[in-house]
Amino acid sequence: MGEFDLIKRYFSRPARRAVLGVGDDCALLAPTPGMQLAVSSDMLVEGRHFLSTVSPVLLGHKALAVNLSDLAACGAEPRAFMLSLALPRADEAWLAGFSQGLWALADTFGCELIGGDTTQGPLNISITVIGDVPTGQALLRSGAQVGDDIYVSGTLGDARVALEVFRGNMSVSESVFLSTRSRMEQPTPRIDLGVALRGLATSAADISDGFLGDLGHILQASQVGADIETALALPLLACASHLHLPQARQLELILSGGDDYELVFTAPAQCRAQVVAAGLASHTPITRIGAVREGQGVQLRDAAGQPMAHQFKSFDHFA
């Protein structure tokens, strides 16, 4: 199968909202009046971001999910995406599975594939997503204010548990392995929550490299610090009740686990009821775990409000 047959068979569909999709030198999109485009890219490299053993269907899902997660963090709705693939060979079983996972998630969010690039090489998947958001309403990292509450969606740390099991560093029951593995391999982009937080959250980011690091990006951009109440954060590790881990280890998984693809966001303390309503409207669990303060960096606090020392770090490819 040649390059163009491959694209035609697995990655072409008639354009829907796009003016022109796959097949020409450029795709064409008509901007919607009153909206701004939100654009983001994420690359997945074998051995770095995924294990060679992962099922192609799940990989197709995850490659798009991690990109949609960035749109969610901006409060944007998905419109279209570009797919750039380096493949060692044209393996039809792999392509069928990968495209199946990709199309399923794309259809869930009405996000159409409008083009890309395909070359031979070590397996590498790069996606660029394009979304839109009403002009001026994108959620940025730079808007957190002193006194705001800090929230996270969903659960944190479970994906990391699965990774540690794969690495041979932890052992868990079969059922815990299945549930944590699905958190690692099938993240849920929080698009509906991002949309519900427009005009309400003062800042937001998605949690890809670990909560502390991604909250740290918000704090730096907003030039503020944060207090995190560990007693409020501990319940976020969904599998905790099935494991026998010291609290410090649970906290490490929650605060610097990575691969969660949840949202961390801030909102004014007087808007708590509206944040609860946004969670309900988007069918997304939300937990308040701290507050923005003056200064810089994250201070962890114990149940008595006392500062706690810690050395948790988030993932950095070059650290």
d(CA 156, CA 71): 19
Q: At a CB cut-off of 8 Å and minimum separation 6, what does 16 contact?
A: 112
Question: Is residue 85 a contact point for ligand ADP (CB under 6 A)?
Answer: yes
Q: Quick one: what does residue 316 bind among Mg ion, ligand ADP, none, with the CB cut-off 5 to 8 Å set by partner type?
A: none
Question: Is residue 117 a contact point for Mg ion (CB under 5 A)?
Answer: yes
Number of residues forming the site for ligand ADP (CB under 6 A): 13
Buried/exposed code over 123-133 (b: 16+ C-beta within 10 A; e: otherwise): bbbbbbbbbbb
Question: Is residue 294 a contact point for ligand ADP (CB under 6 A)?
Answer: no
Contacting ligand ADP (CB under 6 A), which of 23, 110, 122, 199?
A: 23
Instruction: Name the token pair of 272.
Output: 């708590």
Question: Is residue 113 a contact point for ligand ADP (CB under 6 A)?
Answer: yes
For tokens 């980011």, the residue is 205
Question: Is residue 38 a contact point for ligand ADP (CB under 6 A)?
Answer: no
Question: Is residue 139 a contact point for ligand ADP (CB under 6 A)?
Answer: no
d(CA 100, CA 114): 16
- Nearest approach in angstroms of CB 120 to Mg ion is 13
**Choices 113-121, 127-135, 270-278, 293-301 (CB under 6 A): range interacting with ligand ADP:** 113-121
Residue 151 C-alpha from the chain's centroid? 15
Q: What is the DSSP string of 296-311?
A: SEEEEE-TTS-EE---
Closest CA to 162 of 51, 61, 44: 51
Q: Quick one: what does residue 22 bind among ligand ADP, Mg ion, none, with the CB cut-off 5 to 8 Å set by partner type?
A: ligand ADP
278: Cα within 13 Å, side-chain hemisphere? 25
- Nearest approach in angstroms of CB 119 to ligand ADP is 8
Q: What is the DSSP string of 165-205?
A: HHTTS----HHHHHHHHHHHHS----HHHHHHTTTT-SEEE
Question: Is residue 18 a contact point for ligand ADP (CB under 6 A)?
Answer: no
- Nearest approach in angstroms of CB 27 to Mg ion is 12
Nearer to ligand ADP, 50 or 211 (CB): 50
The H or E element containing residue 207 is strand 203-207
84: Cα within 13 Å, side-chain hemisphere? 11
- Nearest approach in angstroms of CB 184 to ligand ADP is 25
Please check whether residue 186 is in contact with residue 65, taking contact to mean a CB–CB distance below 8 angstroms: yes
Contacting ligand ADP (CB under 6 A), which of 97, 116, 235, 285?
A: 116
Name the residue whose CB lies closest to Mg ion: 117
Q: Quick one: what does residue 134 bind among Mg ion, ligand ADP, none, with the CB cut-off 5 to 8 Å set by partner type?
A: none
Taking CB under 6 A as the rule, which mask of x and - marks residues 39-78 in contact with ligand ADP? ----------------------------------------
- Nearest approach in angstroms of CB 220 to ligand ADP is 35
Interface ranges with ligand ADP (CB under 6 A): 7, 11, 22-25, 83, 85, 113, 115-118
Interface ranges with Mg ion (CB under 5 A): 117
